[in-house]
Amino acid sequence: SGKTPNAYQSYVVELGDIPGQDVDALLINNELVTIGTTPHPDYGYPLEGKYAGYAWVKIYDGTQTVADPMLVDKYGSFPERPWNSNMVGAGIPYLILTCLLNRELLKSDPNIRVVTNGIPLYDPRKDDTVGGSGTHRWDDKSTWEPSSNNIVQAFNIMRGIELPSGDIWGGEIELEDLPLNNWMAGMNACDASIAREGGGSEPAFRSGIEVFVTDLPVDLLL
């Protein structure tokens, strides 16, 4: 940038191992930042506030089929660990944070924390073939959506969540062994609207947690 060599640095952060996740919030050095709406042609959406003009973020949800063109262009011939066109990250949601040198803003590598909306889950209440209303289908993951509903999450763990490798994380329990009337009642109880202090309302129960494939499914259910 100008006369400054190596003025930009890019950080690639994996968000998970199941596609379909998006970013709800981004924190840099434990501070919530605002993401702008007009993207830079190379670096993605600008961060606003004190980072305006010095930091940008690009987000992939795991459905990408090609490597990020900026990483290939800027780092394809880098002497250490060059980023080549084979580095697609198929099935992996990730973000790229690119920063322009400013020692007042970032005196060292930033601590990056991300809040995602979670993995897509199947909600039988949204499947009109099993007594619900909607287009969700157990055998078509493209119809699923992220959910913070405790019982929807538990139901998917009981049925088993398929990983990109083909392995199943969870119970692999057949649908006929999970009485839908009972499960739907629990899901509805979680979604029941309750008043908030200061006005408005929210669901009675919500949950969210970072899960590792090494975690035992039964531990999450408990």
12-40 pLDDT tens trace: 999 999 999 999 999 999 999 999 999 99
Reply yes or no on whether the pLDDT at 97 is more than 80.
yes
Look at residue 10 and tell me whether its pLDDT is greater than 90: yes
pLDDT at res. 62 = 93
Q: Give the C-alpha separation, 58 to 12, whole Å.
A: 10
Q: Strands (DSSP E) along the chain, which ranges? A: 8-14, 23-28, 31-33, 45-46, 55-60, 94-100, 112-116, 120-121, 145-146, 161-162, 168-169, 193-195, 201-203
Q: How confident is the model at residue 60 (pLDDT cuts 50, 70, 90)?
A: very high
The predicted pLDDT at position 3 comes to: 79
How confident is the prediction for the chain on average, in pLDDT?
94
Task: Please give the pLDDT value at position 1.
Answer: 77
pLDDT digits (tens, 9 = 90+) for 158-208: 999 998 888 999 999 999 999 999 999 999 999 999 999 999 999 999 999
Q: Quick one: tokens of 212? A: 């590792």
107 vs 48: CA distance, rounded Å: 19
What is the predicted pLDDT for the residue at 180? 96
| H and E: helices and strands count for the chain | 4, 13
